[in-house]
Structure 1
Amino acid sequence: MTPHLVDIPILETQRLRLRAPLASDFEPFAEFRMSERAVTVGGPFTRSEVYAQFGELFGHWVLRGFGRWIVADRLSDEPFGVVGLWFPEGWPEPEVAWSVFEGGEGKGIAFEASLAAREFAYSTFGWTTAISLIVDNNPRSFALAKRLGAKFEAPFHHPVLGAMQIWRHPGPESLP
């Protein structure tokens, strides 16, 4: 029997498919989350912690009705990262969040996927605004937020992640 708790929609862009996680995505997800590259998301983590975080990808959809997708190549289905709508306990408000695995960096994947996720939040859920919450030592994410049209709004202190910045995305009325 296959449990069915939530339908996770599939979004497609020119190059990407944003889809529900598959068991085969765990290893690339774990490789990223256990590496030094995960410092910007509170890592590196142990494999056990990563397993719980992988399950959290599904759980957020169940608890909030929205969540993050695995971003995969439309043709090969190779996973490139995790992008989507995120509002965990302790966050000031819902955000557009991104993490790109090593092989996906520098290709515009986070930009393309984040645009699709934000558009989905605005058109499907009626969001009128969104933030991205970025740790202070993440200049690549600051650059991506700017490219998405977001503007620095305020500092934020998270009890685990420390100093962060709130970046405000343009509302749906401001987008082309």
Structure 2
Amino acid sequence: MIETARLTLRLPQIDDWAILEPIWTSDRSRHFGGPFTPEDAWLDFNQLVAGWVLRGHGALTICTKDGAVQGMVLLGHEFGDPDAELGWLLTADAEGHGYASEAAAALLPLCRKIYGADFVSYIAEANTASIRIAERLGAIKDAPHPRRSDDVVTYLYPLKGGSND
């Protein structure tokens, strides 16, 4: 569990799914391949949760201090991706409150501990809100994603000093 001034980042629980499912099954997922069928959404959610068992990292549920679920933040390594990814998914009501920025910033130290400089955010170029978050966190635009559509760009989190070498 990770605490910030306004948020608690905790392991996902089965009860979170009812609140999180619309992230995948609605137009909110258009920037990462959706909308998904309920079955495909469930499988993707399970993949993010299973990362903790299989790889030692995965998704955390973003909750406000009153326990209300706002979304997820993750350090994940999806099948076929060349790099581990720092990502975030928010419910519609959570957008615009700074929760994604706060949660991702809180997860950065764990990302560095696990992967050093070898992690990225894959972001659709049309997702300007997520691009702003990644840039605010110090990521720099790198190259198109090697296996996704041309509109998905890699944002690289360099070590302090600006080098990943």
Same fold by TM (over 0.5)? yes
Q: Which of 145, 153, 160 is the equivalent residue of 1:156?
A: 145
Identify the match of residue 133 of structure 1 among 98, 113, 122: 122
**TM superposition outliers: structure 1 runs of 4+ over 4 Å:** none
| Correspondence for 1:7 | none
Check whether the contact 1:157–1:163 (CA below 8 A) recurs between aligned residues: no
For 1:46 and 1:132, the matched residues in 2 are separated by 24
Q: Which of 157, 160, 164 matches 1:169?
A: 157
Corresponding letter in the other structure for 1:36: D
Corresponding residue SS for 1:45:
coil
Unaligned runs of 5+ in 1: 1-9
**Identical aligned residues as a percent:** 30
Aligned residues: 162
TM-score w.r.t. length of structure 1: 0.84
Please point out which of 63, 73, 89 is paired with 1:72: 63
SS at match of 2:151: strand
Structure 1 residues 63, 142: CA separation in 2 closer, same or farther (over 3 Å shift)?
A: same
SS in structure 1 opposite 2:79? coil
* Structure 2 gaps, min length 5: none
Q: Does 2:139 match 1:144? A: no
Q: CA RMSD in A?
A: 1.8
In structure 1, the partner of 2:104 is 114
Tell me how far apart the structure 2 counterparts of residues 33 and 71 of structure 1 sit (CA, whole Å).
16
CA distance in 2, matches of 1:84, 1:27: 19
Q: TM-score with structure 2 length normalisation?
A: 0.90
